């Protein structure tokens, strides 16, 4: 038995000796690790957030008709620039037979009353000229005559309005549709022959045209509740419009909603910003856009890549090279970060070399 144990011991000892020899041989012939280093640099650090939305006109109105009927004439088309008061369309009124009948009856009654008042006035005028009745009584019949005449003219105008949408007395036609503002026609949703409904207290009416001032545009978007507390009015925005490549438009934040809305499981706050345009710029209404909102900015400050930072009990530090491939830990004070680069307030100088963590660049 002793010989067996002695043999096993010798075999194990020889095996360990061979393994240790192989391990130390490989280690002695392994090239040392060389760590990559970088020096701090000057950079502009910009912290920003992104809001998504669209470009819309600040002033956009829907022009509607005051009467129901059928579009008889269209004088404009979408994309055309119009002035306030410019004629857009003419409506052919389809009269309501009940309303026409009532208006005709009222006119006949008014004519009968007027003719009766006219005869009475003529009779009393002769009596007044003959000094039979006093002037006061004569003036009473004259006033009644004037009232009956006005009633008859009103009945005539009412019948004309019901039939044709026009009034002789006012000289205006309610079946003519005019632009209410200066601007561009964004849409003309009706065609000649289209039936329309008038605007009234119970109905919005049919839209004849949509007019907007395209020189005054705003960005309307929404921002997450986690970022809204960092915003303030008059902050600068940089707008990127997907349909316009290679251009960035400036904007100024002018409104932050006091109340958020629930959208896709999170609270969003609507915002609005004035778009700053040059005289030659033209942006179509409805373009989708992203707004980069600058929350804070540092110009030409000392910085390093944020990935080079390490932390010890929430305190940031870096490893600074003191001699070739020899590093020491150095606590630093950081400032603004844009997610890639971070400002170094103190703890590093421009010429010092900082170890890039876990980055091996060469084998000697």
Q: What is the CATH number of the domain that holds 247?
A: 2.40.30.170
Verify that 71 and 14 share a domain, yes or no: no
Verify that 208 and 82 share a domain, yes or no: yes
- Counted domains in the chain: 5
Best-predicted range by mean pLDDT (98-102, 167-171, 266-270, 295-299): 266-270
pLDDT per position as a tens digit, 25-61: 565 555 566 778 888 889 888 888 888 899 999 999 9
Nearest-angstrom CA–CA distance, 18 and 203: 98
Q: What is the CATH number of the domain that holds 134?
A: 1.10.287.470
Residue after which a domain boundary falls, among 298, 319, 353: 298
How much is the average pLDDT of 80-97?
85
Verify that 200 and 226 share a domain, yes or no: no
Verify that 275 and 202 share a domain, yes or no: no
Tokens of 58: 């600040």
170 belongs to a structural domain: no
**Angle, alpha carbons 253-256-258 (nearest 5°):** 170
- What pLDDT does 362 receive? 40
169 belongs to a structural domain: no
Instruction: Give yes or no for residue 197 having a pLDDT over 70.
Output: yes
- Between 232 and 359, the higher pLDDT residue: 232
Residue range(s) defining the domain that contains residue 186 = 60-93+175-212
87-92 and 176-178 strand pairing: antiparallel
Residue pair 301/47 in contact (Cβ under 8 Å)? The answer is no
Instruction: Give yes or no for residue 270 having a pLDDT over 90.
Output: yes
DSSP 8-state assignment for residue 265: T
Residue in the block written with tokens 């980055």: 359
pLDDT per position as a tens digit, 67-87: 888 899 999 999 899 999 999
Q: To the nearest whole percent, how much of the chain has pLDDT over 90? A: 25
- Between 127 and 291, the higher pLDDT residue: 291
- What pLDDT does 364 receive? 36
Q: Residue 70 burial (CB < 10 Å; 0-12/13-18/19+)?
A: middle
Angle at which helices 135-164 and 97-129 cross, to 10°: 160
Instruction: Give yes or no for residue 309 having a pLDDT over 50.
Output: yes
Q: Residue 259 burial (CB < 10 Å; 0-12/13-18/19+)?
A: exposed
Continuous H helices in 211-316: 225-228
Nearest-angstrom CA–CA distance, 254 and 271: 8
């Amino acid at each position: 038995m002793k010989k067996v144990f002695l043999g096993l011991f010798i075999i194990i000892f020889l095996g360990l000796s061979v393994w240790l020899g192989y391990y130390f041989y490989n280690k002695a012939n392994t090239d040392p690790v060389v760590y990559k280093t970088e020096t701090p640099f000057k950079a502009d650090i910009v912290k920003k957030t992104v809001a998504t939305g669209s470009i819309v006109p600040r002033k956009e109105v829907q022009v509607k008709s005051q009467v129901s009927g059928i579009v008889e004439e269209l004088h404009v088309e979408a994309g055309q620039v119009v002035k306030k008061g410019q004629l857009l369309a003419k409506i052919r009124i389809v009269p309501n037979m009940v309303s026409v009948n009532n208006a005709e009856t009222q006119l006949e009654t008014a004519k009968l009353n007027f003719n009766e008042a006219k005869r009475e006035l003529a009779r009393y005028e002769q009596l007044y000229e003959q000094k039979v009745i006093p002037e006061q009584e004569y003036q009473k019949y004259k006033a009644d005559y004037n009232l009956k005449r006005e009633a008859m003219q009103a009945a005539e105008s009412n019948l004309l309005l019901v039939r044709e949408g026009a009034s002789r007395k006012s000289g205006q036609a309610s079946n003519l549709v005019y632009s209410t503002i200066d601007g561009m026609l964004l849409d003309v949703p009706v065609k000649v022959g289209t039936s329309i409904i008038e605007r009234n207290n119970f109905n919005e009416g049919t839209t004849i045209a949509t007019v907007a001032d395209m020189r005054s545009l705003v960005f309307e978007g929404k921002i997450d509740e986690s970022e809204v507390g960092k915003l303030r009015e008059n902050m600068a925005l940089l707008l990127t419009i997907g349909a316009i490549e290679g251009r960035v438009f400036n904007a100024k934040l002018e409104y932050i909603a006091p109340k958020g809305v629930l959208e896709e499981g999170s609270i969003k706050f609507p915002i609005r910003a004035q778009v700053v345009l040059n005289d030659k710029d033209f942006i179509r209404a409805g373009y989708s856009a992203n707004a980069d909102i600058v929350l804070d900015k540092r110009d030409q400050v000392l910085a390093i890549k944020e990935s080079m930072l390490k932390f010890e009990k929430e305190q940031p530090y870096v490893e600074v090279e003191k001699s070739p491939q020899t590093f020491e830990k150095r606590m630093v004070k950081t400032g603004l970060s844009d997610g890639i680069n971070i400002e170094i307030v103190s703890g590093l100088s421009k010429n010092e070399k900082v170890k890039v963590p876990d980055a091996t660049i060469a084998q000697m």
